[in-house]
Amino acid sequence: MSGFVSFVSAGPGDPELLTLKALARLRDADVVLYDDLASGAILDHARPGASLIAVGKRAGRPSAKQEHVNRLLVDYAATGVRVVRLKSGDAGIFGRLEEEIDALRQAGIGYEIIPGVTSACAAAAAGGIPLTRRHTSRRVQFITGADVTGQLPADLNWAALADPDSTTVVYMGKRTFPALVAKLIEHGMAADTPALLAESLGRDDQRLLRTTIGALAQELAQGVGPATAVILFGALAGDDS
């Protein structure tokens, strides 16, 4: 008898941002496979006695291989138990969700996806700004700042990213942001375009920095630190009214 896997989106780290459905699945799960950023107080909502297994992946640190995570999902579900795969942010945004889904499909195991608050929305909310504005900033674009090698992706749409009338959110981009900004300026974006750095969202050490893309690139070129972050840039990123 096959079990069932619930892909639960944990949001940026604040347990109060979990959905009711996410809480229900955590409280019913027999096994929880969780990311580093989907741990802490969020795991306090897991059922007492549930098996809690860390499978997080962090840049520059020893991490579980994706193939190993896929295998664990299949092996646990195949025993007939209820499995929660707890992912930070929204599971469908830069979370390698499709690889885990493919493994379950190949094994004939059922699953569901429970959406959550992605870091882009959490960062904008923490900064007291919207992601869009009528007449201006009518497009939002999410990009990853790192490819599979950890470098800035070479195939980004630079014309779209340099559009001053859009809001851009960069995930996993602190290390490569200086290179990204150099390309943005090369494609016409002003160095004084507003930027918002949001680190450790939803946690006690949360940090928000309002600056410009040029100044932020200079700061990050000196070192990035261990805190996870998203970076927003565009006209709205500088709105602190």
Q: Is 57 annotated as catalytic?
A: yes
Catalytic residue among 14, 21, 30, 35: 35
Q: Is 21 annotated as catalytic?
A: no
Rounded Cα distance, 238 and 128, in Å: 10
Residue 119: closest CA among 151, 92, 149: 92
The torsion angle over the Cα atoms of residues 202, 204, 207 and 208, rounded to 10 degrees, is 50
End-to-end CA gap in the chain: 57
From edge to edge, which strands make up the β-sheet containing 166-171? 139-144, 166-171, 229-233, 194-199, 207-212
Catalytic residue among 14, 21, 30, 57: 57
Scanning 51-118, the segments in alpha helix (DSSP H) are: 66-77, 97-107
Cβ-Cβ contacts under 8 Å for 203 (sequence gap 6 or more): 13, 14, 40
Catalytic residues: 35, 57
